[in-house]
Amino acid sequence: MKAIETTGTVNEQHQLLLDKPLSHVDPGRVRVIVLVPEEDEIDEKIWLKAITTNSTFDFLKDEAEDIYTFSDGKPFDDQG
């Protein structure tokens, strides 16, 4: 699938209204992912579950994406 990022507003009838028309997209069904602001940060376990079960991230399973090894960089230890 091809991803297109745009913005919009949810109205009082809970309908999504896009800020700009998607004139470059052929008519038909689409998959919509809605990101809403949260007061609290997203729980890491929820994020990890989403990234491992959502087909949007399947490209990360490609060996060509494996560009780092355990010997790259320095270990991070947050002391704060």
31 located within any domain: no
DSSP string, 46-58: HHHHHHHH-GGGG
Question: Is pLDDT at 46 greater than 80 in this prediction?
Answer: no
Query: Hey, what's the torsion of the CAs at 1, 41, 52, 17, to 10 degrees?
Result: -20
Full residue range of the structural domain in which residue 57 is found: 38-68
**Overall number of domains in the chain:** 1
Weakest mean pLDDT among 14-18, 36-40, 42-46, 50-54: 36-40
45 located within any domain: yes
Kindly report, residue by residue over 2-30, the tens digit of the pLDDT: 888 888 888 889 898 888 888 888 888 88
Whether the CA torsion 71, 72, 74, 77 is positive or negative: it is negative
